[in-house]
Structure 1
Amino acid sequence: MEILILLVVAVVLLFAVKEIRRSLISRPMFGFFKRVLPPLSNTEREAMTAGDVWWDAELFSGRPDWHRFHQAKPPQFTDEEQAFIDDQLEQLLAMLDDFKIVQQDCDMPKKVWDFIRKEKFFAMIIGKEFGGLDFSPAANSHIVSRIATRSISAAVSVMVPNSLGPGELLTHYGTDEQKNYWLPRLADGTDIPCFALTAPEAGSDAGAIPDTGIICKGAHEGKEVVGIRLNWDKRYITLAPVATVLGLAFKMYDPDGLLGEQEDIGITCALIPTDHEGVETGERHLPLNQAFMNGTTYGKDVFIPLDWIIGGQDYAGKGWRMLMECLSAGRGISLPALATATGHLAQRMTGAYSYVRQQFGLPIGKFEGVQEAMGRIGGTNYTIESMRRLTVAALCEGKSPSVITAMTKYHMTEMGREVIEAAMDVHAGKGIQLGPKNYLGHGYMATPVSITVEGANILTRNLMIFGQGATRCHPYVLKEMEAAANPDEEQGLRDFDELLIKHIGFAASNFFGSFWMGLSGARFNASPISGPTARYYQQLTRMSRALALTADVAMLVLGGDMKRKEMLSARLGDILSHLYMASAVLKRYEDDGRQSGDLVFVEYALEQHLNKIGAAFNGFFANFPNRAIAWSLRVAIFPFGIRYKAPQDQVSQGIADSMMEPGVTRDRHTFLCYWKDDAKDMTGHMELAFTAMKAHESIYKRLKKAEKRGEIPADLAGDELIKAARKAELLSADEAKSMKKVEQLRIAAIGVDQFAPGTLEKRTFAK
């Protein structure tokens, strides 16, 4: 007993007496931390500290405050935004013929370009004081998503000026003179902007761009001034072929010391009219059978004055941070909007097609194999829309959450890929034959575009989400890194000492908390609500605590090597991401008033996310290099094994049935999908056939029973079916007339486009 008391006293003294603690614990740990601290390049450091944290920090802490989470306001439109959506947006959508844009003209018609410029679709993020619309992220996201259900090419053309580009950079960093000159011209469509970052051998590693700007003296407007001699060669630049003003990122150097003693100034952004002497608009790219303008730009020994630097001379060398701060917002809107469009379109049209298309006398949506794919479409789309709303809500609050927008961009574009592939599987031949009636083909081909740009998905998943999240979202790591980097080592040690004690308590609490939740199955965890979703809140809190523990152990054991263990890092990032996505699903369910028709979608999504969290933990434990620690973590977090299962078959069947039922639930889940009340329209032909068949469902059932009784021949369709039914007195004259129209719609809807000989062969590219 005495020995135990002595041990307790020793431990108390060790931690409670500051000088003893610093000498025996903090100083050795401080040295260890400095040794294992991963070295960061300037671009990595700027990317690491750009943007804000939000709900991601709560999830990473292991103690998410669900009550505060529910207080976040869902995105809403102003009256002005709603009026634009109801008027100008609908006008634009009615003008778009995507088959003609992509397959015939490889460009939008002049009237569409003129309408977009006149109605300020390029100026949604520009302030009203400069003639812009000054729309919220919610309106921006909605507008781009809805356009994308009609034409990806048109959506990309609209989204780029409203994402990372001159308009946003000028708004945040431009001088008054730059804003007053350029923003009104961008707002009224006088100028079309593009932004050139990517070079042939520098994509994600912007620090490796070979494009240079040398400070020197030169002639500008008849005077000798200090300026920049630029040389660049850029590719993959959207809107470059039609742009009148070029945003350019380059490395700036001052070898003659004209600005000061620093020679390597760093990445800088400038704004250059494309008609400026030496600026060359190169040849156009053709990005996967899409018609949006994308091409090259280059220049050799192009001289520009210093005041063309965005923000002026004070912002020389600050270009990378400017880009990262702006990208963290734009990345949460633009490409996720394309993925959202894919989800809404795929769910609405696949539900309709699965009812209209029949096989063996049944809608194909009644076959379990098709239902599995439909469950994947509907359940995944519920997450896509939920994630879009939650991220937009953060942006509407004025946040710029870099980790969340990285997660949003990566996972929404990947989910968009899953959904469109499932939709193509269900549509089969209907999906692969291009033509005016094909509403899936161009979206399917465009999917890799979203996967690739604004941070390729492999890079985003393996390096960015956890790599940035581990420092930005962790309550202590970034502060500890700053303490370790403090040139005043004694002050750094004092700061580190205070943080370390808190960090030790944090880690110990996570260990014991994770173990208790594992033993109890999280049954005693608090939930902000009761009902069928309460258990999910409990499990997400448990997994949040498990992530906090695992991340701490991984960073402690691997140190700087964690940066190179990309597969392990990716799995921890997946856990954080699926916690965020599951949170988004729960938030949407609450915001929408717990609609009973949504519950099957919510269940599918949450079971899927928990299952993937379990798979990520399993992969992490199986591949963690220190096997003893991996085993200890597995036992502490999952003492009875990982028991999260994928959604059950009956859940997918429930989703499939819902997708084939017109009504409020279907409309709420696919409200962004545009369709025109026209039997010849791209989506209208399927929507009209579906609604007409559902309205005549009882008659179809009557005819099917008569067929089984042998009163009419089997496998009849169209006019033959109507004639046989009329002859057997199964239909009245009015019913026969109505059914004839329905059968015409049905047969046209399951049909595909065809072209006269020689028509397609005439489409050639100039050599």
Structure 2
Amino acid sequence: MVFKAVMNGLIKAKAMPQISATERQALEAGTVWIDGQVFSGKPDFAKMFAEPYSKLNARERAFVDGPVQELCTLFDPHEVATTRVIPPAAIDFLAKKGFYSFLIPQAYGGLEFSANAISTIMAMLTSYSPLLSTLVVIPNSLGAAELIKHYGTQGQKDHYLPKLATGEYLPCFGLTEPTAGSDAASILARGVAFKNAEGKVQIKLNFRKRYITLAPVANLISLAFKLHDPQNLLGKGEDAGITVALVHRGTPGLEMGKHHQPIGDAFYNGPIVGNDVVIDADEIIGGKECAGQGWRMLMEQLAGGRAVSLPAGAVGGVRAAAAAAGAYAKVRQQFGMPIAEMEGVQEKLAEIAAMAYLAEGSRIYALSALDNGEQPPVVSAVWKAYLTELSREQAKNAMDVMAGAGVMQGPNNIIGRGYCSAPVAITVEGANIMTRSLITFGQGAVRCHPYAFKIANALEANDLPTFSSALKGWIGHMVTNTLRLIGMTATRGALASVPQIDGVTPYLKKLAWASTRYAYLTDMALINVGGKLKARQQLTGHFADALAWQLMAISTIRRYIAEGEIKEDLPLVQYAVEYSLEKVQRAFEAIYANFGNNLLGKWMRTVGYFGLRMSPLVGASRDRLVPVVAKTITKTDAQSARILGDLAMPKIDLAELDSDEVLARTKGVKRLMAAFQAVQAADVVQMKILQARRAKLIDKGSVQDMAAAALAKGIITAADKVLLDRANRLSLEAIMVDEFTPAEFFGKEGVTYAPGFECANVPNVGHGVAHDAPVEKLRVVA
């Protein structure tokens, strides 16, 4: 009787978040993974770290080291970004080598790679050329190939998959509309089923889509629409629901080919409009039986798919930032020293390096889960939102390090395009604001909590036995977890039973403590806010932050263990985990401050908040790690290779660059990395000269004067002098920014300036070439 009264009271009060049909499909899609461990309050780290950890197999590694690297030699990324035209040789290469077929089974002509391999390739290509990468990412992400592979009829698989594998069909996915972005389930695209004159069931479509990547060049659309069937011709009722069907370019009434102009690299993206477009009902993916099943299909594939393409691009962006900022900081000198030796610059470099390590650990850990059969929607949402945001932050840090070299555009600016393009990934598949404030905790609190989903289902079904069992379990969980939190707080996590790993165990104890507090706060939020949880987006956003940074800290440690606990990487791990715990601490403080104005909320904001601040998860100790972590990306060795991962890097022959003609043709990444190599090769020589100056064996002067004096006194050899001269020459060239004539700047000859101005005596200057010719400023014409 007591449980019956409680259940009726909760139903009447709408105490649990209300779940719509589309939300239920999202909640039921995929699996609960390590996110469930965090919500439990007692994570089993030994179990987590025993899970398989993906590595590329021999076939995948050969593809990455072969065709992927070769593709990146077929064109200049700056030229492609400027002209927006991908060379025909690169287009042909994509089709010939199977770049469209990573998802497609080998039986249908595909390469059938693992999620890890697909993500690795996407990360490389996105860091090299975002425009090119869209031609690879879209065919190998949610869309025609993936949906047909999982849900298509045999006829659809036999017809479409081989042609998608070869690029004969170039797909795009039509979902987003002017009035349906993050709220994709509210699409207005409408399809009406009818019988034609021959008695065949067809669908008349009317829609307006936008932001569709590859739409201007695609010839096959996977179109999402709401299907209406007034005569129930498909047997799914009058309003069948969201459906996905294939629409071919050239179908009467279909308008496509216009371009949007995305910020940064203007990849192919545009609108699709349909006016009375008629298709056969057989073009529904999965056939007529799958009418109305489109939302379920999308949620099931997005459950894991969000962890692949966008996080891959984000990781590629962080790697590129690390490579560029580390090299530039070593090459660029100010106040008589490389800026890499300045503490302020080191703070930026350390964060970039540690976040590159963390991001790669997060990427591979999640992909390992996918390759092991998991489909974790909450973790996928976290990776999409937080890794793309992390990439934007590290692009900003790299811009700070490179300063003017990152601001002035041209072929030699290797970081600016990535910085400008960073918002793109953040808006795809719903803005990160929505992912953070609605999806992550909104789904996680219900799906990953040990009992919440069971209680919500029982309340909806008015199922007393299930409700009674789940409520008893929840009460026991809350009591146990509250007592655990008291003990954990009193001992600052010392009570936690965790694996013993040198240099890491204290962090695991802190993460166990954080998980216990997180589970406690989740229970308090569900009890205190309940059915209004979706409306309390500030609160849910802070819960999302706390969850995300716990997951990323765990992923960082998982990487360290999987790679054999390489001791020189321990400072990277410690920096990344302390950074993450600091984020978790801030999120907890914000949660305590946002509980509301009732009695529990007041207690949280006063007593609870005070206790939280008095015993934080982590102190201000990360500064001690900055110098050693910053240096990891200002050198070329096995450690920096682990941090940078798979990047498309040019082959460099330093002796070849002794030619002025060759050096003049060397631009962008190759120019900077050549200087980086040359400076490292000359480090020993620089040290000899520095020691001689300190010993007063030579007088202080310019680099050239001190080198000449050192050579004359036998402190360095002639070969040493060659290394030093080459380093100085290449360094000076590497820090030059691009220069343009008026004709180049305006894109035409005979430029007319604003009224009242003219330009005089401007020499014809090539890109990135220093000059001594005088330049008169613009002057007012009387």
When normalised by structure 1's length, the TM-score is 0.92
- Give yes or no for the alignment of 1:600 onto 2:571: yes
Q: Is the 8 A contact 1:332 1:392 kept in 2?
A: yes
Which among 328, 333, 344 is matched to residue 358 of structure 1? Answer: 333
Percent identical among aligned pairs is 37
Match of 1:18 in 2: none
Match of 2:635 in 1: 661
Match of 1:7 in 2: none
CA distance in 1, matches of 2:25, 2:289: 17
Deviation at 1:195, TM superposition (A): 0.7
Match of 2:547 in 1: 576
Structure 2 residue matching 1:301: 3-state secondary structure: strand
Q: Is the 8 A contact 1:712 1:728 kept in 2?
A: no
Match of 1:400 in 2: 375
Q: How many residues align?
A: 732
Match of 2:61 in 1: 82
Q: Could you tell me which amino acid in structure 2 is paired with residue 61 of structure 1?
A: S
Structure 2 residue matching 1:292: 3-state secondary structure: coil
Q: Is the 8 A contact 1:621 1:631 kept in 2?
A: no
- Give yes or no for the alignment of 1:120 onto 2:98: yes
Match of 2:728 in 1: 743
- The aligned runs of 1:156-305 (5 Å cut-off) are 156-218=134-196, 223-260=198-235, 262-305=237-280
Q: Could you tell me which amino acid in structure 2 is paired with residue 87 of structure 1?
A: G
Q: Could you tell me which amino acid in structure 2 is paired with residue 403 of structure 1?
A: V
Q: Is the 8 A contact 1:677 1:688 kept in 2?
A: no
- Give yes or no for the alignment of 1:91 onto 2:66: no
CA distance in 2, matches of 1:661, 1:325: 43
Match of 1:686 in 2: 672
Match of 1:16 in 2: none
Task: Indicate how the Cα distance of structure 1 residues 647 and 396 shifts in structure 2: closer, same or farther if over 3 A, else same.
Answer: farther
CA distance in 2, matches of 1:759, 1:681: 17
Deviation at 1:706, TM superposition (A): 5.4
Q: Could you tell me which amino acid in structure 1 is paired with residue 727 of structure 2?
A: V
Deviation at 1:480, TM superposition (A): 1.1
Q: Deviations over 1:557-611 (max 9, x none)?
A: 1111111000101111111111111110110111111111111111111111111
Q: Deviations over 1:68-116 (max 9, x none)?
A: 111111111222212211211111122231100011x212111111111
After superposing the two structures, state which structure 1 stretch, 688-697 or 414-423, moved more.
688-697
Q: Could you tell me which amino acid in structure 1 is paired with residue 530 of structure 2?
A: G
Match of 2:21 in 1: 42
Deviation at 1:716, TM superposition (A): 4.4
Deviation at 1:33, TM superposition (A): 4.6
CA distance in 1, matches of 2:348, 2:546: 24
- The aligned runs of 1:238-637 (5 Å cut-off) are 238-260=213-235, 262-486=237-461, 489=462, 492-626=463-597, 628-630=599-601, 632=603
CA distance in 2, matches of 1:595, 1:24: 57
Structure 1 residue matching 2:191: 3-state secondary structure: strand
Q: Could you tell me which amino acid in structure 1 is paired with residue 468 of structure 2?
A: D
Deviation at 1:359, TM superposition (A): 0.8
After superposing the two structures, state which structure 1 stretch, 622-631 or 470-479, moved more.
622-631
Q: Could you tell me which amino acid in structure 2 is paired with residue 692 of structure 1?
A: A
CA distance in 2, matches of 1:646, 1:443: 31
- Give yes or no for the alignment of 1:670 onto 2:648: no
Q: Deviations over 1:163-220 (max 9, x none)?
A: 111111111111111111000000011111111101112111122212110111236x
Q: Deviations over 1:681-712 (max 9, x none)?
A: 53222222222212211211333455674945
CA distance in 1, matches of 2:39, 2:236: 43
Structure 1: segments with no counterpart, 5+ residues: 1-22
CA distance in 2, matches of 1:737, 1:537: 51
Q: Is the 8 A contact 2:264 2:418 kept in 1?
A: no
CA distance in 2, matches of 1:278, 1:120: 32
Q: Deviations over 1:494-550 (max 9, x none)?
A: 111111111110110011111111111111211212422111111111111111111
CA distance in 2, matches of 1:763, 1:372: 43
Q: Could you tell me which amino acid in structure 1 is paired with residue 726 of structure 2?
A: K
Q: Is the 8 A contact 1:282 1:298 kept in 2?
A: no
CA distance in 1, matches of 2:141, 2:111: 14
Runs of 4+ that moved beyond 6 A: none
CA distance in 2, matches of 1:738, 1:505: 71
Deviation at 1:143, TM superposition (A): 0.7
Deviation at 1:360, TM superposition (A): 0.8
CA distance in 1, matches of 2:168, 2:263: 29
Match of 1:641 in 2: 615
Q: Deviations over 1:319-354 (max 9, x none)?
A: 111111112222101011111111112112211211
Alpha-carbon RMSD: 2.1
CA distance in 1, matches of 2:527, 2:538: 17
Q: Is the 8 A contact 1:347 1:659 kept in 2?
A: yes
Structure 2 residue matching 1:300: 3-state secondary structure: strand
Task: Indicate how the Cα distance of structure 1 residues 763 and 757 shifts in structure 2: closer, same or farther if over 3 A, else same.
Answer: closer
Deviation at 1:648, TM superposition (A): 2.5
Q: Could you tell me which amino acid in structure 2 is paired with residue 694 of structure 1?
A: Q
CA distance in 2, matches of 1:392, 1:540: 22
Q: Is the 8 A contact 1:123 1:186 kept in 2?
A: yes
Q: Is the 8 A contact 1:107 1:291 kept in 2?
A: no
CA distance in 2, matches of 1:147, 1:758: 32
CA distance in 1, matches of 2:551, 2:21: 29
CA distance in 2, matches of 1:261, 1:155: 39
Q: Is the 8 A contact 1:424 1:431 kept in 2?
A: yes
Q: Is the 8 A contact 1:480 1:499 kept in 2?
A: yes
When normalised by structure 2's length, the TM-score is 0.90
Q: Is the 8 A contact 1:43 1:320 kept in 2?
A: yes
Match of 1:8 in 2: none
Q: Is the 8 A contact 2:596 2:602 kept in 1?
A: no
Q: Could you tell me which amino acid in structure 2 is paired with residue 330 of structure 1?
A: G
CA distance in 2, matches of 1:117, 1:69: 39
CA distance in 2, matches of 1:348, 1:538: 33
Match of 1:703 in 2: 689
Q: Is the 8 A contact 2:122 2:137 kept in 1?
A: yes
Q: Could you tell me which amino acid in structure 2 is paired with residue 192 of structure 1?
A: L
Match of 2:701 in 1: 714
Task: Indicate how the Cα distance of structure 1 residues 624 and 268 shifts in structure 2: closer, same or farther if over 3 A, else same.
Answer: same
- Give yes or no for the alignment of 1:753 onto 2:738: yes
Task: Indicate how the Cα distance of structure 1 residues 261 and 100 shifts in structure 2: closer, same or farther if over 3 A, else same.
Answer: closer
Task: Indicate how the Cα distance of structure 1 residues 140 and 643 shifts in structure 2: closer, same or farther if over 3 A, else same.
Answer: closer
Deviation at 1:45, TM superposition (A): 2.1
Q: Could you tell me which amino acid in structure 2 is paired with residue 714 of structure 1?
A: G
Deviation at 1:40, TM superposition (A): 2.7
CA distance in 2, matches of 1:674, 1:727: 42
Match of 2:51 in 1: 72
Q: Deviations over 1:201-252 (max 9, x none)?
A: 2111122212110111236xxx442211101111111111111111101111
